[in-house]
């Protein structure tokens, strides 16, 4: 068994595109809200982690997006009663 196969078995939840970065606007569009709403979520600590791509550009990794979305789904299910 190769090293890559061992790593995949140890971390099956990680995918090849986990560290691909979406620009912030594209991330907001994919979630269905505006950039100002996305910025409010991030500023309040309720959004995903942000990656600084350049001096004026931010983004979100696919992994952080997935984890953030899953956490919101779990939170919604836990309050459904």
Q: Does residue 64 carry a pLDDT above 90?
A: yes
Question: What is the value of pTM for the model shown?
Answer: 0.74
pLDDT in tens, 25-53: 999 999 999 999 999 999 999 999 999 99
Tell me the pLDDT band of 19, cut-offs 50, 70 and 90: confident
Q: Mean per-residue pLDDT for 62-77?
A: 93
Q: How far is CA 62 from CA 3, 46, 81, in A?
A: 24, 17, 30
Handedness of CA 36, 39, 45, 46 (dihedral sign): positive
């Amino acid at each position: 068994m190769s090293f890559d196969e061992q790593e995949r078995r140890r971390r099956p939840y990680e995918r090849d595109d986990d560290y691909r970065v979406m620009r912030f606007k594209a991330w907001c569009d994919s979630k269905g809200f505006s950039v100002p709403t996305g910025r409010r979520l991030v500023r309040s600590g309720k959004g995903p982690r942000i990656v600084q791509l350049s001096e004026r550009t931010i983004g979100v990794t696919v992994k952080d997006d997935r984890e953030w979305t899953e956490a919101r789904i779990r939170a919604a299910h836990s309050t459904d009663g």
